[in-house]
Chain A
Amino acid sequence: MLFNSLNFALFVPIVFFLYWFATKGNIKLQNVLLLVSSYFFYACWDYRFLFLLIFSTFLDYYTGLKIYNAPGKKNRLFWLWLSIIVNLGFLGFFKYYNFFSASFAEALSNVGIRVNPWTLRVILPVGISFYTFHGLSYIIDIYKNRIQPEKNFIIYSVFVSFFPLLVAGPIERATHLLPQIQQKRTFEYTKAADGLRQILWGLFKKIVIADSCAQFADTIFNNYPAFNGSTLILGAFFFAIQIYCDFSGYSDIAIGTARLFGIELLRNFAFPYFSRDIAEFWRRWHISLSSWFRDYLYIPLGGSKGGTWMKIRNTLIIFLVSGFWHGANWTFIIWGLLNALYIMPSIIFNTNRNNLDIVAQGKIFPSLKELISVVITFCLTTFAWIFFRADSLTAAFRYVKKIFSSSTFKLPNMSAFSGDPSVYFVLLLVMLFMIVEWLGRERQYAIAKIGHWSPVAARWSVYFTLVGVIYYFTFSGRGHLFIYFQF
C-alpha cells in the first residue's frame, strides 16, 4: 500500500475514526488497533513476510527481557549477540545473499573457474532494513542500560511495526517512541492539523516534484551514451532533486500521518541541500539513519576519542557500511566512499562542527560566502548521486567520464527532455519549490509556517492550490515507487 495511493487515502481515515472513536480513548484498544492495522498495511505488500516481521519482533522482545534479567555480563552478552546475529543474519540473507553469491562466482570466473552463481529465489522483504535497525537499537539500548525492556508485547510490537514508519522509516529509537506508545494519547487539534499539512507537503514533493524529475532522470541515466556532458549534468541534477523530494516527501507523509494518531516521529530531513559543508549535509540528510550509525557504530568503535587516525578509520567504516546498507551493489559502496572522502578534510582539520546553525538564520538572503558554500556542497553531493543512481559501476564511470569531456561545453540535447509536463515547466516548479523550502528552512518542514497565517482564506487558498496541483500530476502514469522502498 503506497502512501500516494487511493488505498492509503481510504485506509488512514478508517483507522483514524476507529482509533479516536471506536476505542473511546482506551489505550490498550488503541494499541491493538494500531498493531492490527500496521500488520494489515504490511500484509498488503506481501503477507508471507508478515511472519518474518512478527518473528523478528518476538525475538527482540524476548532477548530484550533476557538481557535485562540475565545474572552476569557473560549472559547479557550472549543474548545481545544472539539477537544481533539473528537480526543481521536475516538482513544479510534477504538483502545480500545473491550479491555475494554472484560476486563470488564472478571472482572465480576471473581466475578461469566457471561456476553458476547459487542464486536463490530470494525476494527482499519490504522494510527489513528499517525494522531490523529498530530492533537492534532497542536491544543495544537495553544492554547499555539506557532503557528498561518493554514487558507488554503489544506495545513493543507497535513500536516496531507502527505503519507510517514500517517500510521506510524514520528509524525510531525506543527512548523516543516507546514512551509515546505506553502513554495515553489525547487528540490535539493543532498537532492533527499540522500533520495533515505535512502530509499535503509530502505528497506535493513526491507526486509533483520527484515524479516529474524522475521522467527526465530516468531517460538520461538509461540512455546516457546518447547524450552529451551538459545533458548528463542536468540528468544528475534532476536525480538529486528527485531523490530528495521522493524520500523527504515520504518522511513528511509518515511523520504527518503519525501526528494524526497523536504520535511524534523523529525528524528525518532538515533542508539538506542548504548545507554549507558535507558534515552539515549529513546532519540534515536521512537524520534517523545517520544518527543511528553515529550512536550504534561510530561511537562504539571509539568515535573521535582516539585521535585523528581513529576518526578517519571510523568515518570510513560508517560511510562504507551506510553505502552497503542501501543495497548490495558496488555503486552504493562507492557512493559511501565518495562521501567519506568529501567529509575527511573536515574530520582531519576538526571543522566538521563548524556549521551547526541554520544557514542565513533570520535573514532572507545568504551572504556570498554562504551561497558559494551551499552551491559547492550541492554540486559535490549531486556528483556522488551519479554513483547511487547508475545501474552499474561501469555505467557510473562512463557517465562521469562524459561529464568531464568537451561535450559538456555543448548545449544540452533537448530530445532527452520530451515529456509531460515539459522540462521548462518542471524546472520552473523546482525553482519555486526551492524558494518555498528556503523561506521555510527554519521550521520542521517548508510550509509549517502557513498554519499561523491569517485570515483562514489565505491558508486555505494555499492548500487548495496544492491539492489542485497534486491532483493534476496524479495518475500521470509515471507512478514511481518511493526510491527507499527497495532498501
Chain B
Amino acid sequence: MVYLTRKAEFSASHLYHNPALTPEENRRLFGKCNNPHGHGHNYTLEVTVKGEVDPRSGFVVDLKQLKEVMHREVLDAMDHRFLNKEVPEFCDQIPTTENIAIAIWQRLATKLDRAKLHRVRVYETPDLFVDFYGEP
C-alpha cells in the first residue's frame, strides 16, 4: 500500500453562527468568528489517497485525474467564495474547519477512480488544521 498526498490552496470567507442560538450565545461561543460580515482565510487542502501501485503505470493514482477532481469538486466550489452563502453544505451547517474537511471528503470519496481516499487535511492557518479519515 502506498499513500499519495496532493496539496491545493483556496481562499474563502465564512462566519460561525448557529441560528438556533441567541445572539449572545453565538457571540460567547464563537467570539470574533461570529462577526456577521464574515472574515477570510487562505486554506491549504491536503488530500491523501492510498492504493497498490499499478504495475503497468507505476502509479497509485493518476495525479492528473486527482488534480482535476479536486479542482472540479472543491476549488471551483469553494475558492474565492463566501462559504455560508455559496456552498450548499453550509446553508444548514457551520463552515468550521471540521465541517469543511468532512464536506470535502464527501465531495471526493465517490469521485476517485482507482485509489481510496485516506485522509482529508484542511489547514485554516499554518497553526490550525483538521484531519478527517471518514470515521463515523
A binds B: no
